């Protein structure tokens, strides 16, 4: 446990000054984040039974050298790994494959699949999702107002993932809830029944992916993500069908809530600062920087990125027990004037060095280019159709969402 110095013991308990599940945090997280960062480089947060790493240099070193585990099952409070003879599809996918595998296999997977995430492929995915996004926004043209989250943001992850993997439309109805609810399979804050329902949906989704894989094996298609994966499987020993399945689930898990959240906060930030819209949308490079700035300004993180101590170890002057969680929190200084001049100002041309919005090192976000491109495409099409779009009201924060500050709804007026 923590070794407190005399100065530390005079401070109020950390839980009294930092509580990301409070309404105050959701309205203005900066003071609480600063109070946490001032406590030290590695701070124990009793409410979550987790260590928090607060300094950017330490976080980047941890990302780069990967001396902590990323495997959820290494967490001291993780559910028991079931014995192999009781595995269903879900366990088969979640244990030991693809991006959820040990370091060596993870690196092999990242290396062999990297061509499937190249600029050309992202250009191609952009072409495939554009008609859906155009149709979605066109369907809103007669409305005087709408909730951007319900009408647009919730649909974008599904459109992107299904188009990216080339899932035939006949499976869409069954697949949609999985994309929306996948992260519930490991959400500790919901009931066992809800988690189990999400797990069963996921089992069915894996059946569907297997059916589509079998179809593609018989009839490979050109420029298709799944066909590309099967070619990679054929050419690389050690990369097998379960790696393909797990990779698709990882894309769903890591690319759904992040995208939905990014959609709502980007629209909110730009509508609060209409002068920044043309600068942000100049081209995809300008947008890439603008999105980092929007994320800094919005400061929506609550929990950061989880890692687990692989053994009893000393780290940054603290003694860690095997299995303890370490949360990396690169967002704590987003509104610190020492790090960012005029931090409350949204300036989409602000320079970032380093820019770690999508992580760093071996586990850098594999979907970063795709995430930025789909967001850029949606924003461009949105403001083309609705050049006078305005916020209708200040949106209320949803404090129930456990890992991010989300908006309950985002009502906009079209002014056409």
- Least separation in angstroms between residue 103's CB and ligand HEM is 11
Selected binder of ligand HEM within 212, 271, 366, 377 (CB under 6 A): 366
β-bridge pairing 411-413 and 42-45:
unpaired
Check binding of 250 to ligand HEM (CB under 6 A): yes
Check binding of 166 to ligand HEM (CB under 6 A): no
Check binding of 304 to ligand HEM (CB under 6 A): no
137, two tokens: 């926004």
CA-based angle 203:206:208, to the nearest 5?
A: 115
Check binding of 371 to ligand HEM (CB under 6 A): yes
- Phi then psi for residue 101, to 5 deg, are -90, 180
Selected binder of ligand HEM within 110, 128, 130, 402 (CB under 6 A): 110
Check binding of 14 to ligand HEM (CB under 6 A): no
Specify the DSSP element, H or E, that contains 383.
helix 368-385
Length of the chain: 416
The Cα 330–Cα 32 span in angstroms is 14
Torsion of CA 70, 74, 79, 80, to 10 degrees: 130
Please identify, using beta-carbon distances, which residue of 34 and 258 lies nearer to ligand HEM.
Answer: 258
| Piece of 43-51, 268-276, 360-368, 388-396 that binds ligand HEM (CB under 6 A) | 360-368
* Total residues at interface with ligand HEM (CB under 6 A): 20
Please identify, using beta-carbon distances, which residue of 251 and 320 lies nearer to ligand HEM.
Answer: 251
Coarse DSSP helix, strand, coil percentages of the chain, rounded to the nearest 5 percent: 55, 10, 35
Check binding of 358 to ligand HEM (CB under 6 A): yes
The CA-atom distances, in angstroms, between 29 and each of 48, 130, 405 are 18, 35, 9
The CA-atom distances, in angstroms, between 127 and each of 116, 160, 170, 195, 281 are 15, 11, 21, 35, 18
Check binding of 53 to ligand HEM (CB under 6 A): no
Check binding of 263 to ligand HEM (CB under 6 A): no
In the complex, residue closest to ligand HEM by CB: 367
- Least separation in angstroms between residue 237's CB and ligand HEM is 20
Q: Quote the crossing angle between the two packed helices 368-385 and 257-272, to the nearest 10°.
A: 40
Please identify, using beta-carbon distances, which residue of 81 and 103 lies nearer to ligand HEM.
Answer: 103
110, two tokens: 């990242």
Selected binder of ligand HEM within 62, 140, 357, 399 (CB under 6 A): 357
Selected binder of ligand HEM within 21, 236, 359, 380 (CB under 6 A): 359
Residues making contact with ligand HEM (CB under 6 A)? 63, 99, 110, 250-251, 254-255, 258-259, 262, 305, 357-359, 363, 365-367, 370-371
């Amino acid at each position: 446990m923590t070794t407190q110095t005399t100065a530390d013991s005079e401070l109020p308990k950390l839980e009294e000054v930092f509580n990301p599940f409070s309404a105050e945090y959701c309205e203005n997280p900066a003071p609480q984040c600063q109070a946490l960062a001032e406590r030290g480089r590695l701070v124990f947060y009793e409410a979550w039974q987790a260590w928090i790493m607060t300094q950017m240099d330490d976080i980047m070193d941890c990302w780069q050298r990967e001396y902590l585990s990323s495997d959820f099952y290494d967490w001291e409070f993780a559910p028991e790994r079931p014995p192999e003879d009781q595995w269903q599809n879900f366990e088969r996918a979640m244990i030991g494959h693809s991006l959820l595998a040990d370091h060596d296999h993870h690196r092999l997977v990242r290396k062999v699949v990297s061509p499937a995430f190249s600029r050309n492929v992202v250009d191609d995915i952009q072409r495939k999702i554009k008609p859906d996004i155009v149709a979605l926004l066109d369907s809103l043209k007669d409305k005087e107002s709408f909730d951007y989250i319900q009408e647009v943001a919730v649909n974008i992850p599904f459109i992107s993932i299904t188009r990216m993997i080339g899932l035939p439309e006949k499976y869409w109805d069954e697949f949609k809830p999985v994309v929306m609810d996948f992260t519930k399979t490991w959400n500790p804050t919901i009931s066992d029944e809800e988690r189990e329902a999400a797990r069963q949906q996921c089992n069915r989704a894996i059946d569907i992916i297997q059916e589509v894989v079998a179809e593609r094996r018989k009839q490979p298609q050109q420029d298709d993500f799944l066909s590309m994966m099967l070619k990679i499987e054929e050419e690389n020993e050690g990369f097998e069908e379960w790696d393909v399945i797990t990779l698709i689930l990882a894309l769903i898990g890591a690319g759904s809530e992040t995208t939905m959240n990014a959609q709502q906060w980007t629209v909110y930030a730009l509508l609060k600062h209409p002068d920044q819209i043309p600068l942000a949308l100049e081209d995809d490079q300008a947008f890439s920087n603008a999105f980092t700035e929007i994320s800094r300004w919005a400061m929506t993180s609550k929990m950061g990125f989880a890692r687990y101590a692989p053994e009893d170890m000393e780290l940054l002057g603290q003694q860690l027990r095997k299995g303890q969680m370490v949360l990396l929190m690169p967002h704590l200084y987003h509104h610190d004037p020492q790090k960012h001049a005029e931090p409350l100002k949204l300036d989409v041309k602000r320079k970032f060095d380093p820019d770690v919005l999508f992580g760093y090192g071996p586990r850098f976000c594999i979907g970063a280019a795709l995430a930025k491109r789909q967001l850029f495409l949606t924003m461009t099409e949105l403001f083309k159709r609705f050049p006078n779009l305005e916020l209708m009201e200040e949106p209320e924060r949803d404090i129930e969402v456990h890992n991010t500050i989300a908006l309950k709804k985002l009502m906009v007026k079209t002014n056409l």
